[in-house]
Amino acid sequence: GEGPAWGANNTCVRDCGCGCSVEVGPPAECAAGPLGDPWWGGYEDSLFEKHALALVEGHDAAVPLFLFFAPHIVHTPLQVPQEYADRFAFIAPTDKPRHQRQVYHAMVSFADDIVGNLTAAFKRKGMWDDTLVVFSTDNGGPVYGNGTAGANNFPLRGGKMNNWEGGIRGNAFVSGGFLPPSRRGIKWDGLAALWDWYATFSALAGVDATDHRAAKASLPPIDSHDLSAVLLGKTLASPRAELPIGTEPRLSNLSSAPLCASYNRATPYYDEPSVVGDEPKPLPDSPPPGSRCTTVSALIVDEGKGGLWKLLTGTVEQAMYTGPAYPNSTTDEVSSHFVSHCGDGCLFELRADPLETSDLASRHPQRLARLRAKLEAYEATAFNPDRGGNTAAACEHAQGVYRGFWGPFMR
């Protein structure tokens, strides 16, 4: 699952073990964290921050450093130190009863302070002028569950767990002394994906990003493009022209999609009929005989002056827009009303219509067919692993072996 380290959740250590329920704010039974203090010793992102700061302070500035820091926030459980929640008390009068929007804002503030503290540490160490900082989300904010997740992607459509722009157009910035002055304070709107940083960092470090073992096995090359020339101001053009967009397995009429029955029963399945929270469900026991399920349901193609085109296929939930103060005390969605049935494809031109208001599929049938053919080709090489199922051993190792953190559990 996506939960935090066992027993050291976003607030503190708890006694309920692996079955802790998600709560907003500090649970009533919170015990002291592993370092004693229920917040600054047990708040997970504080622990990670302290560790990262210690790494920087103890590092030899003459030696290159690669530091990857993935905060658990901003994410459920919606829990944050009270002093941060208090900074956004002005939101409370218009918030939902459990203060999801207030806590979500507070978590963003906590993450912002982490970035500030790390920046100050690099500067104290004399490393800032040679440092490249990349900050990025991994998806849009969750707007499902009648706003109980606390996020907002206004003015974009939809959110996390769907492929509307609100779900996949993430916030990001690049900073640091290594960035040329000419590239600072500007906005770049080229097509890029989070996984392009792999090839980019490899290039900057002088490392070959090629997966040679995969090449020997006749597997497709990695889908990662080197953005270093863009960062260094050598070009404004993105090396990426196409972006296939994945999903949990969902019913599809793509001929290259595997049979739904080929997926492991424990594989999360994109479940349209009930909608409600839009969380993935286990694959149904009895999908329609011969039905196919795709894990590549959308595609973005940059045709330069010809437009930035996006294809969505099948059933797409969260076909909704939020206001600037979502969620709030009047939020009351009927989730089944916000479903688009794209079938063979909904088509949008994102430069002119980033809010995805106008489906152009009927006006561009040839382009629709061309993008569907590309999508079929991507699906044909999509990886369909056996992900196994849930096991108590994972939790048992987290509790006993790793003292509250997830780790390898198979012998």
Distance CA 35, CA 15 (A): 16
User: Sign of the CA dihedral 134, 140, 142, 147?
Assistant: positive
How many Cα atoms sit within 13 Å of 199 on the Cβ side? Answer: 19
Q: Are 191 and 238 in contact (CB under 8 A)?
A: yes
pLDDT computed for residue 92 by the predictor: 94
8's tokens: 């050291």
Please write the tens of the pLDDT for every residue from 64-111: 999 999 988 898 888 888 888 899 999 999 999 999 999 999 999 999
Q: Are 132 and 231 in contact (CB under 8 A)?
A: yes
Q: Are 118 and 56 in contact (CB under 8 A)?
A: yes
pLDDT computed for residue 119 by the predictor: 97
- Spell out the residues 6+ positions from residue 99 whose beta carbon is closer than 8 angstroms to its own: 24, 25, 85, 91, 92
pLDDT at 18 over 60: no
Please write the tens of the pLDDT for every residue from 241-276: 999 999 888 888 899 999 988 887 666 666 544 444
pLDDT computed for residue 35 by the predictor: 47
H or E segment to which residue 400 belongs: helix 392-400
pLDDT computed for residue 16 by the predictor: 59
Q: Are 242 and 302 in contact (CB under 8 A)?
A: yes
For the chain, give the percent of residues with pLDDT over 90: 56
Please write the tens of the pLDDT for every residue from 145-184: 888 889 999 999 999 989 999 999 999 999 999 999 999 9
Tokens 């080709």 label which residue? 377
Q: Are 242 and 309 in contact (CB under 8 A)?
A: no
pLDDT at 23 over 70: no
Give me the count of residues in the chain.
411
Q: Are 164 and 142 in contact (CB under 8 A)?
A: no
Phi and psi, residue 24, nearest 5°: -95, 120
Distance CA 390, CA 402 (A): 18
pTM: 0.87
pLDDT computed for residue 8 by the predictor: 43
Please write the tens of the pLDDT for every residue from 336-390: 678 888 989 999 999 999 999 999 999 999 999 999 999 999 999 888 777 777 7
pLDDT computed for residue 6 by the predictor: 42
DSSP assignments along 170-216, one per residue: --EEEESTTS-GGGTT--------TTHHHHHHHHHHT-----HHHHH
Please write the tens of the pLDDT for every residue from 203-244: 999 999 999 999 999 888 899 999 999 999 999 999 999 999
Distance CA 74, CA 135 (A): 13
Distance CA 157, CA 322 (A): 8
Tokens 């009047």 label which residue? 330
